[in-house]
Each structure stands twice: as C-alpha cells, then as structure tokens.
Structure 1
Amino acid sequence: MSLTSTSIDPSRFRDALGHYASGITVITSLVDASPIGFTCQSFYSVSVNPPLVSFSVMASSASYPAIRRAGRFAVNILAADQAHLSSQFARRGQDKWQGVDWQASPLGNPIIAGSLHWLDCQIHAEHVAGDHLIVIGEVLAMDQQKPASAQPLLYFRGQYRDIAEAMRNEETAGRAAKKRVRQACKTIGADRMITLTYRENMTARERALRDWDRFRRRMCKYKQFLHVAVIEEQERGAIHFHVAVHGRQSYHLLRSIWAEVVGRDENGRLCAM
C-alpha cells in the first residue's frame, strides 16, 4: 500500500502541527504612508551569512501583496503581554492598527512598541509552496526593545502560553502538594517528612517513576517508615518524592536506600513537621 498526501486529513494535520510550540510575530510594512501588518506564527531563521530569515503566508493573503510591492518588511517578535496584539493583527477586514503605538524602522517599516525584538528586512526571495508562499528576507537592521529577562508570547495547541505564568503555576502547585503531604503525614502520625529530589530532564520521567516504585518496595521492608505516595513534577526539571517517616535516625537509612535504587546519592531534604 502506498501512502500519498491525499490520505492526510487536513483537520488532523493542523492538530498535529499545533503540538509544536512557537513564538508569535507580526509582519509589518509601510505602503503609501499606510501601515500594513498581519500575525505570523510561521517565522524562522534561514542563514547567518548572509543574515536571512523567512516567514510563510497564505497565498490568498490580503496584506502580503502590498508588502511584496514595498519590497521590505519588519518582523516584530511579540512579548508575553501582547496576546491582544496577536489576536488583533490576525483579524481580517478591520483596522488592525487602532490603538497600536509604533515608530518607523531604518527601512521605514512599522516597529510595534513593546515587542521583544525587531528585525528590519528587504525581500530576498519568494517561493510558492502549496497554498502558501515562503518569503525570505535579508536582515539589514535589528534591535531589542525589552530587557533580556522579558518573556516571549508562545502559542501551543491553539492557546497562548506565558512561560512566567507557567512557572508561577508550577511553584504554586508545588507548595500545595507539600501542604497536602504534611497534612497526610499528621493524619497517619508521622513526625518527619523527607523530600528526595530526582534531578533529571523531564524526558526521563518514566525512569524516575520506575525508580520510585522500586524505592517504595525496598522501603516497605522497614517498619519504621510510613510513606505517602505524592509526586511533584515539572519544578525546574526535577521530580520530587515525599516520604513520611518516624524519627530523625531514619533519614540516613532512607538516603542510602535511595542511592542504592538510583545508583547515586541524590540530594535529600529533611523537614520537621
């Protein structure tokens, strides 16, 4: 049986591509003193020497023909607090520039205020690719508008994402998990809680869970242990295992069991109840 592109369902194809997280840009130009722009997710680097970047746009785009005539464009890389601009420039048939502050780039393209970074380009080449056009631009100027600590606007599975907010949510979830563990420890009469950290990339999650299961079985041989199976994930690339124990002397024995299971001595933290 031969496979052809006609066997790919368009909706499933779009859903599959939605699993690739990306930044968001607004491609802008100035034609006849009027600013033009549209939201673009398909932006990527092409070459360092010469400095080339590229974006893809639908062949039926109402905005791109004017940009082609201008022969130049700017790439505005949006910041995490600019999701409203991404939505605004993605609309058709409306004044996309209402309420938008901008200034002209060295080439005369609109630079949107508050964007993370901008690149000023002249059109280098254009290629037809199915129902899209691949536009390659040569970068002639660029600059950063926000500090390096600023976060980008991300798009994943049909939703905008904020890295800083995700980190805050993880930390909040981590604190809530520890509180639940302490409450569970008090319920079963334990007087100590040990947190053992498995410092691995999250791609090793399955291995960490196997180690945890082996650790629990090994630990059950010791009656002085009462354990609570609570696992925190995705906190700065580590997995945390919480164990409720009786007595401070149990700590070193538990650490040695952990080192035996995972093949190395991981950092542990002993917290009084």
Structure 2
Amino acid sequence: SNTTDSNGTVSFSLPAGSYTVCETLKSGWTNTDPSDGSGCKPATVTAGGTSSVLLGNAANAPATCKVYGVNEVNSSDDQFFTMTVGSGAPTFSNLGGVAKGYNIESLALHPATGVLYAGSGDTNKYKQRAALYTVNTSTGALTFVGSTGLKELEALSFNPATNVLWGWGYDKGLVTINTSTGAATVVYASKMDAEGMAWSRDGKTLYIAENKTLYSYNPATKKLTKITSSLPGNVEALSLRPDGLLAMAVDSSKTLYAYDPVAKKEIKEKRITMP
C-alpha cells in the first residue's frame, strides 16, 4: 500500500508475477478508468522488468451549484439574485436589496478566489461609468474597484486557465481588466455591441454573443469567427455550464437557454424557467 505523489504517480517493487493493482480514493472522488468503476487493473511483472498501470479518477460534482445573476429593475437600478441548481428544480433568491443607481451590466466570478465582480454601464448615477466593482455574495453590497476608462462594460468573463478577467467595452471591443485597479487594455478592437461572453473550460476559446449571433475568439491567433446567427434571442448574458453547454439569457425572456456551440443548436430539454 502506497500513496501517490503530487503528480498522481506512485512506484514500488514487487517480485515477478501477476497482480491486480487497485486505487483507493479519498472521499469526494470517483474512479473513472477502468470504466466499470472498480479502480483496479491487472499487471504482470517480469524479472528485472517494469510495468505501468494507468488508473483514472475525478472529483465528484457538488450536490448543488450556486449561480449569481443580476436583473435590471430600470435603466439604473438592479437586483442581484442567486439560482441554486441541484437534482431538483432550481431555487431563486434575491441577494440583498435593489442596487440603486449603479446600472450593473455584467458579472463574473473569479475561478480561484470566488470573488464576484460586476461592471457598470453608461447610466451610472455615481459618475462611475464603465466601472469595476466587487459584490458581497452575502449582502449584495458593491465596492468600487476602479474605472476601466470605457463607455460601458457590457460583458465580463474570467479565463479559467489564466484567471485573467476579460471584458467587452462598448465601441472599443475586447479588453483585459486589472482586478486591482479596474484599468482596461484593448486586445481586439471592434465596434460590435456584444453583451455576453464566456470562456471554454480549457481557456482556449472565448464565446461572444451580439444579439442573435455567436462568435468564437481564439486568443492565440486573435481571430474572431462567426459560429451562428440563429440564437434563441438577443443575448443579454452568457455563461459556460459544467457540461460544456452555454447558458444564455435573452432579452425580454424568463427562459435560461442551453446552447451547444459545437452542434450549433439549442438543447431544449435543458432549458431553465426563471421566475
């Protein structure tokens, strides 16, 4: 019996013969290879030789997942809310009271720290147009981080591979944002009016939505490619689901759509109806 190192490997010596190698996991993990879930594979060791056995495992998905959102009350007031998703129907709860005068246009959750960030639009009543804020996930209270120098901060998304915050600035295009100061740097100039964006799980593709059109952006080549112009509606928010589908909220709808960007189609059985 041995414990794997930080790379997930372990080595030990055995006499020549046939063996069954098994993996015992800590709580919260599941055997994935072999596919029968046994966590065991046969191995044959020859005299003076070596034998390698590959066993797969993965962390179990949490029983529930909390999603943060913001609902526009009027042109400058907004209500933060949470959606808790589990095995049953999702539940919704307001997060604090109405955030008056901030004109919040976008949200993004830091993948490592869990800090929730928000971006404002151009009707902010505190002279903080296109500003970056942090949001208290218990009370909904906003804390000013800094100005991006843009006209509007229409969309936000963290790259999960680099933890860098990306955004879409009205009349400017794609930007990266310093989460300590709010300063924005243009990386792809565009006049598009995009209001939703979400990174793929590997951080190699950024999905960007403008009205009913979905694009993909490759940060390595700095190329923007149109995927489809047939989304369910004018997209107001975009996020990546754990299953790789895109969750999208569209203008004047209480439906949270699930869209497959590879198959280029909506997955209707995975829609979520919001109150």
Fold agreement, TM-score > 0.5 = no
Taking structure 1 as the reference length, the TM-score comes to 0.30
Higher share in strand: 2
Higher share in helix: 1
